[in-house]
Amino acid sequence: MDFFQSFYSGLESLNFKAIFWVIVFFGGSIFVHELGHFLAAKRRKLFVPRFSIGFGPRIFSKTIGKTEFCLSLLPLGGYVALPQLMEAKSLEGKYKIPETAKPVSSMDKIIVSAMGAIFNIIFALILATILWKMGIRQAQSTTNNIVGYVHSEIKLPNGITVPGPAKVAGIEIGDEIIAIDGRKTCNFEDIIHGIALGTNRDQQGPLSAIRIVRKGKLKELTLHPVLVEQNVRSKESIRIIGIETFQELVISKIYENSPAEQAGLQVGDKLCSVNGVPLLSSSQLNDMLKDSPNIRLTVERFGKQINAALKPLSLPLTRPYIELTTTDGVWEFFPSFDGRDSIKDPCKDICELQLLSLSQEFQKKYPELHAASKVTSIHGQAISNFSDALFICQNTIERPIEFTIDNMDLHLIIKKVKFVSPENYHRFGVELRGTQVLCHKNPLEQIIESAHLTFLTLGSLISPSSDVHLKNLMGPPGIIKTLNTFATYDFRLLLWFVIVLNVNLAICNLLPLPILDGGIIALVLLELLLRKKIAIRMVAGIQFIFMFLLLGLAIYISFFDINRIWGEKIVEEKQRRLQRLIINEQLLWNGLKFE
């Protein structure tokens, strides 16, 4: 039941204004592919009884001339029925070839089979030309291959902390990564793909050979990426090495009463260095603020460098919260400071207590409650601060306790109390944004990059030494979800994804597997090589087996797609929960002013 509820909530999250573009580009990509076959077959004067988008039972059909055009139930692709090329009765139906139909040649079969992929590439080129003119906005940090930060440790989802592979291998801030496993890298995407899709392995596990340039000198390093689970539901893991690339840091906001305001910093200043050390990432900045009681910050303003002396302060930027395990389930609450002008101590300041989250068990028992419900009293007494509530809960374990939440009295027995203290960070009163750039890649470069990624993925998929498996592929549910996300967020990202999708579709359809276009071409070439026809019954049997395997693969991948979407919903809920815990930083600086 929880699975279907989560899947339904995922459908609810679809932006129906974007559905139009999803239908246009997802359906359009399939249509263009089949249109290539159709037009080539008509040009070669072949018998074409049916043009179908999707497989299985027909939802809609209309006959024009001698061809039936239809929309079918299963949106797993499409087909043009071409019985002269290769009989696929189990998939396309049984057709009687007219006696007047011209004999089909080997060249007819090759041209018609290849034209679907060619049309996908043409479609991708048209879209790539549009994207080239429009440009696509990217974070500046993704367009370079310079190391901006090296993580000393990586925390795995199971809570275990392991040393950062890049740190262990000796990679340093400022290094330029120019190749991974012999493949050239020009930007962060190249680095991510090179590591994640790597196929090298030794007795210690995954292995990557990294070529870097450090202070003008070439160095070769070997490191062992760690596998980190990316999705709690689909259980997908990816190789990572624990680095961030260089990013320019620009001040987007300055808080009143903060050291930044007092030092005269301005919105638009670009942070260059701290205590003379070049600043290459926000993570590096956080480390420097933590380690230095006083800093000398150099910023660039209108082409000139300006120095500012600052004293960072440790601030509680997240609220504390309490997790209560009771006989009725688990729930959490935290202090709310709505309407306050300042905060000095989030544990002791006057506040309201607000629910943060509820377990499904607790939610089912008290359906009236929800995140953001107010705890108005405990044991009939109004609670004015978080510390008092914590004290009462800690001293009432295994004893009856009464909570009044949204005017509803709850009589509970606390089994366990977990207190999570505020997370402190060193700050000097600014918000930063990374630099955005508008990239105009020429169409051919976009096609080549998409093809390279497709071949790299296929190579990793068939390699026994990689960590890429069939469950990592994206099926129709995942493609539609991604199209919807990009259409909602940025139309240019949608164009980029459709370009990749069409190149991928073209390449995969040319693989020499029965049912696919490449299988027909391979069969024709094999017959030419053997100089004899292969028995139709044998071909039909192989087709049926591969059709069954293909449909099974689509269902298998779609299962992991749905699980992946479910896992993403869980992450989104955690992020929303975390967002509610973050304190408005301005209130903290105001609190320091009033001390």
Q: What is the pLDDT of residues 195-252, one digit of tens each?
A: 999 999 999 999 999 999 999 999 999 999 999 988 888 888 899 999 999 999 999 9
Return the pLDDT at 285: 94
Q: What percentage of the chain has pLDDT greater than the value 70?
A: 94
Q: Which amino acid is at 524?
A: V
- Nearest 5°: phi and psi at 245? -90, 165
Statement: residue 87 has pLDDT above 80: no
Residues facing residue 349 across a β-bridge: none
Per-residue model confidence as pLDDT tens digits over 172-184? 999 999 999 999 9
Under 8 Å between Cβ of 312 and 428: yes
Per-residue model confidence as pLDDT tens digits over 457-508? 999 999 999 999 988 888 888 888 888 888 888 889 989 999 999 999 999 9
Work out the pLDDT band at 11, boundaries 50, 70, 90. Answer: very low
Q: Which amino acid is at 330?
A: V
Return the pLDDT at 218: 96
94-101: list long-range contacts, CB under 8 Å, 24+ apart: 95/47, 95/49, 95/50, 97/47, 98/47, 101/46, 101/47
Number of other CB atoms surrounding residue 417 within 10 Å? 17
Tokens 């890649």 identify what position?
Answer: 441
Give Cα 174 distance to the centre of its chain. 27
Number of other CB atoms surrounding residue 458 within 10 Å? 16
Could you give the CA distance from residue 412 to residue 401 in angstroms, rounded to a whole number?
5
Work out the pLDDT band at 94, boundaries 50, 70, 90. Answer: low
DSSP 470: G
Ordered by where they begin, the domains of the chain are 2-135+472-574 (no CATH), 141-246+435-439 (2.30.42.10), 249-315+427-433 (2.30.42.10), 319-422 (2.30.42)
Per-residue model confidence as pLDDT tens digits over 96-122? 777 777 788 889 989 999 999 999 999
Could you give the CA distance from residue 473 to residue 197 in angstroms, rounded to a whole number?
12
Q: CA–CA distance from 91 to each of 80, 83, 95, 513 (Å)? A: 11, 11, 12, 15
Q: Which amino acid is at 222?
A: T
Residues facing residue 72 across a β-bridge: 58
Helix (H, G, I), strand (E, B), or coil: what is residue 301?
strand
- Sequence-separated (6 or more) residues with CB below 8 Å from residue 588: 315, 316, 317, 342, 343
Mean pLDDT of 525-536: 85
Q: To the nearest whole number, what is the mean pLDDT of the chain?
A: 88
Mean pLDDT of 126-146: 93
Q: CA–CA distance from 467 to each of 195, 207, 457, 471 (Å)? A: 10, 11, 11, 11
Under 8 Å between Cβ of 77 and 59: no
Return the pLDDT at 3: 45
Return the pLDDT at 298: 96
Closest CA to 375 of 360, 388, 364, 394: 388
Residues facing residue 333 across a β-bridge: 322, 355
Q: Enter the pTM of the model.
A: 0.84
Work out the pLDDT band at 56, boundaries 50, 70, 90. Answer: confident
Q: What percentage of the chain has pLDDT greater than the value 90?
A: 60
Return the pLDDT at 16: 61
Torsion of CA 520, 526, 529, 533, to 10 degrees: -80
Per-residue model confidence as pLDDT tens digits over 17-35? 567 777 778 778 888 998 9
390-399: list long-range contacts, CB under 8 Å, 24+ apart: 390/322, 390/347, 390/417, 390/419, 393/322, 393/324, 393/417, 394/419
Could you give the CA distance from residue 479 to residue 558 in angstroms, rounded to a whole number?
10
Work out the pLDDT band at 92, boundaries 50, 70, 90. Answer: very low
